[in-house]
Amino acid sequence: MKGGVLSAPGDYIYFKSQVPLHKIPIGSKQWRYYDFGPKVVPPLICLPGIAGTADVYYKQIMSLSMKGYRVISVDIPRAWNNHEWIQAFEKFLDAIDVHHIHLYGTALGGFLAQLFAQHRPRRVRSLVLSNTFVETTSFSASMPWAPIVGWAPAFILKRHVLSGIRDSPQEPFIADSVDFVVSQVETLSREDLASRLTLTADAASVGPLLLPDSSITLMDTNDYCATPQSLKDQVCERYPGARRAYLKSGGDFPFLSRPDEVNLHLQLHLRRVGVEARPDLIPGAPKDGSGGSSNEPNNGRKAADDSSENDKRDSETPPPAESAEPPLAPEATGSHDLDNQLLKMAKLSDDTGESVTPPLENSFFRDKQNLLVSRALLNVTCEFFILNMLSLYLGNCTLTGNVAAM
């Protein structure tokens, strides 16, 4: 699949029209990132894997920013060793005037997030790690040509990066997520791919963190993933007190294939570590946290009354001092009600110390069970009606035969 505007998802095209892409040079590094949401809120910074870019987290930016959180998604710049990455990332945070951060990293991004938390503990407040690892020994052993990766042509590097993505029939949402990431790989230069492969093949491991396990959430998928299960088990063993948020499916890129579940876990994590959302600083966002419902018919008179009341209120009250960028697409009321209900249920599960899994399937099985019961009752009613009609028909036939005989 070739990455282009015509082949891009509709929500991604809308995202690109609303959220500006920032590009700033810092030293010898070129940083490419998105920054959206109220500036007064400590940011959640998203770090992609080896095949990702800042664009792969657009669904998290769209959802969480409308709820009052600040989300920053960055490209991994060209860094050829772990120490260079740590220093470059710290200079980037200084350049955008961000001091305390919360990191969400997947695969290679999760490994780099742990390294930064180890060497710069004062800046990292919490971690969300997804399908990641704590050491790169196995990757370096599988790449004997790592010393010459910087001289390899681009098509070989792309082929090696894409070889880790499962190439087989998959469900539509997972297949779409793979197509989107493949289109993003096509936008990476040879130097970008070479530096990321070098970071993966550079034999290193994460040391002890000063961050408590209670400030760490492990969010892994239980189906196929390019990260071996043994490496994910090492992460669980390293942080035994971390919160666990398992996704039954989602593949390598659950942030694209299962965005609702991922966003729910991220929101729950941020609440638990004390990040206070500021939806009141989002221009155009309803104060009660609910958006306009698309299921309700429009009423012209009511809309006019609401418009006049809003104009009057806007003329009386000054705008807030701090605000975010232009708002994204408003969400439906039912969506916000579902988010609040799921957050409450997930928090109850979280307080009990069990694995946090959104109860998204309970309603599905309950509705299915009700449907089966209804069908069974309908079948019994039909059988009863047919038997009664059959006996009446046989009686009429007998009576007709007797009359004919007479």
Q: For residue range 335-382, what is the model confidence (pLDDT) as tens digits?
A: 455 455 555 555 544 555 555 544 444 444 445 455 555 666 666 566
Q: Is the pLDDT of residue 166 over 60?
A: yes
Q: What is the mean pLDDT of the chain?
A: 79
Q: What is the pLDDT of residue 202?
A: 84
pTM given for the model: 0.73
Parallel/antiparallel/unpaired status of strands 71-74 and 29-36? antiparallel
Average pLDDT of the residues in 229-241? 95
Average pLDDT of the residues in 194-212? 92
Average pLDDT of the residues in 327-339? 48
Q: Is the pLDDT of residue 297 over 90?
A: no
| CA nearest to 7, candidates 180, 167, 224, 127 | 180
Average pLDDT of the residues in 9-19? 93
Which three-class secondary structure state does DSSP give residue 21? Answer: strand
Give backbone dihedrals phi and psi of 383, rounded to 5 degrees, phi first: -65, -40
- Mean pLDDT highest for which of 155-159, 269-273, 351-355, 399-403? 269-273
Q: What is the pLDDT of residue 377?
A: 64
Q: Is the pLDDT of residue 317 over 80?
A: no
* Percent of the chain at pLDDT exceeding 90: 54
Q: Quick one: angle between helices 154-162 and 190-201, nearest 10? A: 50
CB contact at 8 A, 111 and 136: yes
Q: Is the pLDDT of residue 2 over 50?
A: no
Q: What is the pLDDT of residue 137?
A: 87
Confidence at 7, pLDDT banded by 50, 70, 90: low
Q: What is the pLDDT of residue 267?
A: 97
CA dist., res. 269 & res. 125, Å (int)? 12
- DSSP class of residue 80 equals S
Q: Is the pLDDT of residue 226 over 70?
A: yes
CB contact at 8 A, 106 and 266: no
Average pLDDT of the residues in 42-62? 96
Confidence at 271, pLDDT banded by 50, 70, 90: very high
Q: Is the pLDDT of residue 91 over 50?
A: yes
Confidence at 174, pLDDT banded by 50, 70, 90: very high
CA dist., res. 168 & res. 177, Å (int)? 13
CA dist., res. 21 & res. 12, Å (int)? 13
Q: Is the pLDDT of residue 183 over 80?
A: yes
Q: Is the pLDDT of residue 62 over 70?
A: yes
Confidence at 395, pLDDT banded by 50, 70, 90: low
Confidence at 203, pLDDT banded by 50, 70, 90: confident
CB contact at 8 A, 350 and 272: yes
Q: What is the pLDDT of residue 328?
A: 54
